[in-house]
Amino acid sequence: MTRHLLLPQGSAKRTGFSRRSMLGLLGAAPAALAIQSAFPGSALAESAGGGALNVFSWPNYFSNDSLAEYARKSGVTPNITSYDSNETLFAKLNSPAGADFDLVIPSSSWIKQMADRGLLQEIDHSRLNLASLDQSLLNRDYDPGNKYSIPKDWGVLGVVYDPEAVGAEIKTWQDFLDAGAKPGVSGKVRLSDSGWETIGMSLWTHGKDWNKATEAEIRAAGEEIKAFAKHVKTFAGLDPNQLANGAIVLAQTNQGTARAAIALNPKLKFVVPGPMSELWVDNYAIPAKAPNLDQVYDFLAYQLEPEVQISETQYIGFPAALAGLRDKLPADTKNVDLIFGGKDLDFDKLTSFVVDPATIGVYLEVQTEIQAAAGG
């Protein structure tokens, strides 16, 4: 899961690692979880009484300015703690340590699992107005009717490549696999470390739905990617510098990292290949036992205000869900179309992965095999 890349506007920092992969590296999560499940309910700020809000989110996922503004307006400073993966969020909500959270930000892939386990509560739509949001981001198949989730920001799986080095235009995932096998490109390819994003390429090419594929179909598709693995240089978080200096010339990535790379090397191109590709959405969701419900709805209403949505987009580098957001961004925003995955993004050709306990193990196992096949 290395698809987000924190990309504050004008940041000169080296953005080599997505926050997800970086924190995952620290490896502290499992240990912390084990300790926390042994000693429930210790770590967080007191939530009793009014005037508190405990947010559990990806690191750096709220604009500091809008948070400060909210604290000024409401008198409540949101207490934000962070996690590095949906799996960590799931494990924590699933344990007594998750009891204090009022608001969490799961990705589209995990909403159903969390809801099915009774970890999330239904959102009271009478208390929030979603009319200002982009309708193509609502009522998607991972959460019909947005019973449990409100889109916060989103991204797509695409391909960034150097047309000169690759020597062909990439339009489909098959083009991607063909181009990657060519001499001069082979060995300079980056694949995602997420099983469904690699195996998905082959499933989509064969007209299969990644949420309905059987174990046999997933394994068969995995074989194709395993055969391709010898051309892969890395599965680690994509470093835009590696694209800029030519160490990588063809890469699966999200639009945010692609935009960072293109800022460094304008020759590069970003495309969302067909026939299908991934849309992921990170969502506001309310844990079943959230202690400060009124405060959550107040905060959510604030977060959905257009000015806040714009500020969030500028801060995290991924688009918030506000309708018509593109035209509301400052005119001097560079490569503004790229923020939205390119000019003619067709939401009907995007699908969101939904974690299913019956097949997720297969996806992950095959991904491990693919990564092993890439370098013996």
Partner 1 sequence: MSANPPIDATVAHPGGGRANARRAAPARWVDHGFAAVPTLWLALFFLAPLGFTVVYSFGNSLFGAVELGLTLKNYQTALSGFYLTTFLRTVQFAVTASALCLIVAFPVAYFIARKAGRFRTLALVLILVPYFSSFLVRVMSWQILLARGGVIETILNFLHLHDGPLDLLDTKTAVFIGMVYTYLPIAIVPLFVVLDRIPGPLLEASRDLGASRWQTFYAVTLPLARPGIATAVLLTAVPMLGEMVIPRLLGGSRGVLMGQAIQSQYMQSQNYALGSAMAVLVLIAVAILVAALARLTKGFATVPA
Name the residues that contact partner 1, by CB under 8 A. Answer: 16, 21, 24-27, 29-30, 34-35, 38, 85, 87-88, 90-91, 94, 113, 117, 187, 193, 232-236, 241-242, 245-247, 357, 360-361, 364-365, 368-369, 371-372, 374-376
| 3 state SS of 281 | strand
> How far is it, in rounded angstroms, from Cα 287 to Cα 289?
6
Structure tokens at 308: 């806040």
Closest distance to partner 1 from the beta carbon of 88 (Å): 7
| 3 state SS of 162 | coil
User: Residue 27 or residue 324: which is nearer to partner 1 going by CB?
Assistant: 27
Closest distance to partner 1 from the beta carbon of 37 (Å): 10
Closest distance to partner 1 from the beta carbon of 26 (Å): 7
User: Residue 17 or residue 142: which is nearer to partner 1 going by CB?
Assistant: 17
The helix or strand, by DSSP H or E, that contains position 308, with its residue range, turns out to be helix 306-316
User: Residue 247 or residue 323: which is nearer to partner 1 going by CB?
Assistant: 247
User: Residue 52 or residue 374: which is nearer to partner 1 going by CB?
Assistant: 374
Measured at the alpha carbon of residue 199, what is the angle toward residues 196 and 202, in degrees to the nearest 5?
Answer: 135
User: Residue 268 or residue 325: which is nearer to partner 1 going by CB?
Assistant: 268
Closest distance to partner 1 from the beta carbon of 124 (Å): 27
Question: Which residues, 6 or more positions from 70, have their beta carbon under 8 angstroms from its beta carbon?
Answer: 76, 78, 299, 302
Closest distance to partner 1 from the beta carbon of 372 (Å): 5
User: Residue 12 or residue 48: which is nearer to partner 1 going by CB?
Assistant: 12
The helix or strand, by DSSP H or E, that contains position 165, with its residue range, turns out to be helix 163-166
User: Residue 330 or residue 376: which is nearer to partner 1 going by CB?
Assistant: 376
Do 90 and 33 contact (CB within 8 A), yes or no?
no
Closest distance to partner 1 from the beta carbon of 374 (Å): 4
Single out the residue of 144, 129, 128 nearest to residue 296, CA to CA: 128
60 burial via Cβ count (<10 Å: 0-12, 13-18, 19+)? middle
User: Residue 94 or residue 333: which is nearer to partner 1 going by CB?
Assistant: 94
What residues form DSSP beta bridges with 172?
A: 274
Closest distance to partner 1 from the beta carbon of 291 (Å): 23
Closest distance to partner 1 from the beta carbon of 249 (Å): 12
What would the DSSP string read from start to end of 184-207? TTTTSEE--SSHHHHHHHHHHHTT
- Count CB atoms within 10 A of the CB of residue 43: 12
Largest CA distance in the chain: 65
